[in-house]
């Protein structure tokens, strides 16, 4: 488990953009863009409105907005994503809610193509 550089507590309400090179954990309420060069964890009590951009996004609370993750997006059983997801790896656990579209970046789709055997 990664150590979090920034933690937004359960009772905190934040309006505005949040950017960090390290990992971010959200347990409160945020309205605005959240960006990390590492990981964003949306805790069970969190409610987020706005886009998220990171390498890895794990959702245990609620997000209303687009989520872009270079490596993966994982929606846990009580997590809710109401918006579009762009990532190389989307994991939706049983009980999770995802209402939106998912998209795999073009360069990752090209990398995952398998060559047909030569005859």
pLDDT of residue 2: 66
Identify whether 67 is part of a domain. yes
**What does each of the 119 residues of the chain score in pLDDT, given as a tens digit?**
568 889 999 999 999 999 999 999 999 999 999 999 999 999 999 999 999 999 999 999 999 999 999 999 999 999 999 999 999 999 999 999 999 999 998 765 444 444 444 44
What confidence score (pLDDT) does residue 52 get?
Answer: 97
When divided into structural domains, the chain yields a total of 1
SS3 track for the chain: CCCEEEEECCCCEEECCEEECCEEEECCEEECCEEECCEEEECCCCEEECCEEEEEEEECCEEECCEEEEEEEEECCCCEEECCEEECCEEECCCCEEECCEECCHHHHHHCCCCCCCC
**Are 50 and 15 within 8 A, CB to CB?**
no
55 found inside a domain: yes
The pLDDT value recorded for residue 114 is: 42
Residue 50: give the domain boundaries. Answer: 4-111
Q: Tell whether 119 is covered by a domain.
A: no
pLDDT at residue 116 in the model:
43
pLDDT score, position 119 = 44
Q: Does any domain span residue 46?
A: yes
> Is 117 inside a domain boundary?
no
Residue 61 lies in a domain: yes
pTM listed for this prediction: 0.86
Within a domain: 74: yes
The answer to the question of residue 116 being in a domain is no
| Predicted local distance difference test score (pLDDT) of residue 3 | 84
């Amino acid at each position: 488990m990664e150590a979090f550089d920034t933690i937004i507590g359960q009772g905190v309400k934040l309006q505005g953009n949040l950017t960090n090179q390290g990992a971010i954990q959200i347990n409160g309420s945020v309205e605005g863009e959240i960006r990390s060069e590492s990981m964003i964890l949306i805790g069970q009590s969190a409610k987020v409105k706005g886009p998220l951009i990171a390498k890895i996004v794990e959702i245990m609370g609620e997000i209303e907005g687009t989520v872009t993750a270079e490596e993966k997006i994982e929606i846990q059983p009580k997590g809710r994503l109401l918006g579009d997801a762009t990532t190389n790896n989307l994991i939706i656990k049983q009980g999770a809610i995802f209402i939106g579209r998912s998209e795999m970046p073009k360069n990752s789709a090209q990398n995952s193509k398998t060559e047909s055997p030569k005859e």
